[in-house]
Amino acid sequence: MPDSKMDETKKKKKKTAECCGYPISIFFIVVNEFCERFSYYGMRAVLVLYFRYFLLWDDDLATSIYHAFVALCYLTPILGAIIADSWLGKFKTIIYLSIVYAVGQVVMAVSTIHDITDANRDGTPDNFTLHIALSMLGLVLIALGTGGIKPCVAAFGGDQFQEHQSRQLNTFFSVFYLCINAGSLLSTLITPVLRAQECGIHTQQQCYPLAFGVPAALMVVSLVVFIAGSGMYTKTAPEGNIMGSVCKCIWFALNNRFRHRSDIYPKREHWMDWAEEKYDKLLIAQIKMVLKVLFLYIPLPMFWTLFDQKGSRWTLQATTMTGDFGGFVLQPDQMQTVNPILILTLVPIMDRIIFPLIKKCGLNFSPLKRMTVGMLFAATAFIAAALVQMEIDKTLPNFPSSSESQLKVVNMHSESLIVTVPSQEPLLIGSFEVQHTSKHTTAVSHWCFTISSHVVFPQSSPDYITFDQQDIRLAFNTTPEINKDLSLIKGSRQTLIIPSEPAEMYLKEDIKSKPKEGKNAVRFVNGWTAYLNITNLESSLQPSETSNYTLVSQGMRKFTLTDGIQSCEFSRKFGFGSSYTFLIPSDLFSTDCESIKEIEDMQPNSVHMALQIPQYFLITTGEVMFSVTGLQFSYSQAPKNMKSVLQAGWLCTNAVGNIIVLIVAELGKLPKQWAEYVLFASLLVAVSIIFSIMAYFYTYIDPAEIEAEILKQQETDPDKKKKKETLEMEEKENEQEIKQTKI
Ligand SMILES: N[C@@H](Cc1ccc(O)cc1)C(=O)NCC(=O)O
């Protein structure tokens, strides 16, 4: 009896312990997956912050390395699958690669301990090279581990089920997906909190070691749980270098087909049948099964291209919205946790209610149909995102185009001022002219000119619009008229600060996009007669000086202003994404900071983050239909000895999707974000139509049945023995050739 058939028979005969119809070993596998996903997503949640604020990389480098790491995590599954199916088997591969993974997590956690190189005890590492080297080593090990075990764990879980448990097998993939999301949800909530703690041996710093240490510990737990179930698993042994045989067989078929390209040779049903002269029918049939599924996967990366943008584009969209939900405040990046929360509710609803209902209605909602509908849901999610974006666009400030400049004038002089700019009506700006709005006074002694350079200043240099003596005139009631040469940078917003001594006026550049991460940009103009120290600002402010912007989070923020002798406190509640210039008058301390006036440079965000819930709902419904079904489909349609390989193929669609996101992000963007969302939605609709046509021609198979059928035929086939002998002889010849070449 052939080995493979013997394994199959053994599997059928072996009675596995069951609970409610499920093999007990499944419990260890789903707990293992929960811990592993906790470890992976927990580490990922704080990774960019670690790059940015611990290693002090800039935004671009931090995000590029982050995306490269994620892409690597989805490319390594193919390696894990080859090791499992051809060499070690799934069980050993999971154990060995989990050890690599856990070591990687520990190395990563160690790399975040600032004290290991902080000899001067100033709270910052002294040897960044060591921290970078350790963290890169850690990340490579993690990518190898997490990607390597990923295709094996799902397939190994599937292997635990026996033939009579096909209903339970389908449920397993849903439960598996639930565990992934429960683990990731918990960790994305917990690790940022751990990071926000302070810890350290010599100095107290943000606690990255804890934020990375807990995921490392969970990975060790994951490994221990998996080993604990060791005695209960059904383990299928690898059948030699299957990937090598597959490649050789395909190569032979292609070559043979080419050699017999003339019309005199009779056609064969499939191009792989040209390998029949040399290779086993079973292997050819198995390769055909895998190729058929892999061909079907070609359009799938487009789904992931849209799906993975919820972590980037949608989070950026959230930074231009407000997250005040009354009882609690949601930060823009926390909005992503809506996805696993919805998964935890939608998977049971789909499995228990929606799919059975569809079945009851007599509709055949086959896996490939589900996946197509999932893609359409994702496309609709992007239409919803485009509609939200249009609402946001209505509230965004009118930023200058690349050929325009915007100028604002702030008059801190004691007299009113008339400003004249060519082709604009002269404007009168009172001294600290104020409108009383609620508790705080709002200065209205400013406004914006939007100046199109090509219209008003045709003689200007390419980068600057230069106001010459005649161009801008500032007239006070008593002071003589002042003319000023000003250089306005094209595409920027600038503020002309006129201090108490107007001749010392100067330009200060304004923020010209929404502040990052939904924060608020604030700055102060010092109208007090001496230097001032203000909490949260980098350095003290000289008289008449304007500080750079500092970013503050949403909520009540307190600033203490002191000149070294006197001090007062100024508090203000901030929303999301606003920008303010605070004018400090000369009566600051006598009014106990009450006289500080604010200029709203940029309105706080007004569109609510709750508007993103429909798009999250749609994309998550799409994910349940597409991803859970895809996982199940990849397992059910794969031959017994190539289950991990097809799982890896499935994960590869995700890697390609991620790479497309990277390319699209680098290539030019459409001028309007909503248009980009509509473009992506249209592309996915087009791709899902192609996929549905491909799916229409796909015939579902039962690989085990086909394999058994072929084996039965081969028992009675006299040619088979001959072919096997030829194959073995050729392999020997090959080996000898290699030996001789070496000599
Ligand atoms: N739904 C995702 C998991 C997830 C969790 C948290 C997020 O902020 C985003 C995504 C999922 O199930 N992915 C599959 C996997 O194997 O990780």
Q: How far is the CA of 181 from the centre of ligand 1 (A)?
A: 6
Pocket flag, ligand 1, residue 340 (CB < 6 Å): yes
The continuous run of DSSP H or E covering 34 comes out as helix 25-49
- What is the reported pLDDT for 436? 32
Residue 484 has pLDDT above 80, yes or no: no
Q: 607 vs 234, 311, 385, 427, CA distance in Å?
A: 54, 19, 13, 33
Q: 473 vs 418, 426, 483, CA distance in Å?
A: 8, 9, 5
Q: Residue 659 and residue 653: Cα distance in Å, rounded?
A: 10
How does residue 428 score in pLDDT terms, banded at 50, 70 and 90? low
* Region of residue 240 (left: phi > 0; alpha: psi -120 to 50; beta: else): left
How do residues 309-368 score in pLDDT, each as one tens digit?
887 789 889 989 999 888 888 888 888 899 999 999 999 999 999 999 999 999 999 999
- Contact of 500 with 413, CB cutoff 8 Å: yes
Of 235, 211, 187, residue with least CA distance to 29: 235
Pocket flag, ligand 1, residue 191 (CB < 6 Å): no
Pocket flag, ligand 1, residue 188 (CB < 6 Å): yes
Q: Residue 580 and residue 546: Cα distance in Å, rounded?
A: 12
Per-residue pLDDT, averaged over 305-310, amounts to 89
Residue 596 has pLDDT above 70, yes or no: yes
How does residue 370 score in pLDDT terms, banded at 50, 70 and 90? very high
- Poorest-pLDDT segment among 41-45, 569-573, 727-731: 727-731
* Region of residue 628 (left: phi > 0; alpha: psi -120 to 50; beta: else): alpha
Residue from 184, 306, 654 to probe ligand 1 pocket by mutation (most atoms less than 8 Å from CB)? 184
- What is the reported pLDDT for 620? 97
- Poorest-pLDDT segment among 272-276, 427-431, 470-474, 572-576: 470-474
How do residues 537-549 score in pLDDT, each as one tens digit?
767 899 999 999 9
Q: Residue 597 and residue 545: Cα distance in Å, rounded?
A: 16
Q: Residue 121 and residue 369: Cα distance in Å, rounded?
A: 61
Residue 608 has pLDDT above 70, yes or no: yes
- Contact of 97 with 146, CB cutoff 8 Å: no
Pocket flag, ligand 1, residue 181 (CB < 6 Å): yes
For ligand 1, atom 16, the nearest C-alpha belongs to 180
For residues 383 and 536, the model is more confident at: 383
Among residues of the chain, what percentage have pLDDT more than 70?
Answer: 85
Q: Counting atoms of ligand 1 from 1, which one is nearest the CA of 310?
A: 9
DSSP-assigned letters across all residues of 668-727: PPPSSHHHHHHHHHHHHHHHHHHHHHHHHT-----HHHHHHHHHHHHHT-HHHHHHHHHH
Pocket flag, ligand 1, residue 184 (CB < 6 Å): yes
Residue 613 has pLDDT above 90, yes or no: yes
Cα torsion through 402, 403, 409, 410, rounded to 10 = 10
How do residues 193-238 score in pLDDT, each as one tens digit?
898 888 988 888 889 999 999 999 999 999 999 999 999 999 988 8
- Poorest-pLDDT segment among 107-111, 366-370, 486-490: 486-490
Kindly report the three-state secondary structure assignment for every residue of 519-549.
Answer: CEEEEEEECCCCCEEECCCCCCECCCCECCC
- What is the reported pLDDT for 51? 93
The SS3 call for residue 475 is strand
Mean pLDDT of the chain: 85
Considering the entire predicted model, what is its pTM? 0.81
How do residues 262-288 score in pLDDT, each as one tens digit?
889 999 999 999 999 999 999 999 999
Residue from 46, 47, 149, 180 to probe ligand 1 pocket by mutation (most atoms less than 8 Å from CB)? 180
Q: Which two tokens mark 490?
A: 């094209």
- What is the reported pLDDT for 495? 84
Q: How far is the CA of 311 from the centre of ligand 1 (A)?
A: 10
Pocket flag, ligand 1, residue 339 (CB < 6 Å): yes
The SS3 call for residue 311 is coil
- What is the reported pLDDT for 462? 34
For residues 716 and 141, the model is more confident at: 141
How do residues 471-482 score in pLDDT, each as one tens digit?
556 666 656 666
Helix ranges, 116-241 (H)? 128-159, 166-196, 208-228
How does residue 456 score in pLDDT terms, banded at 50, 70 and 90? very low
**334: number of Cβ within 10 Å:** 17
Q: How far is the CA of 577 from the centre of ligand 1 (A)?
A: 28
Q: Are strands 198-199 and 434-436 parallel, antiparallel or unpaired?
A: unpaired
How do residues 557-566 score in pLDDT, each as one tens digit?
999 999 999 9
Q: Residue 200 and residue 188: Cα distance in Å, rounded?
A: 23
Residue 421 has pLDDT above 90, yes or no: no
Q: Residue 605 and residue 329: Cα distance in Å, rounded?
A: 14
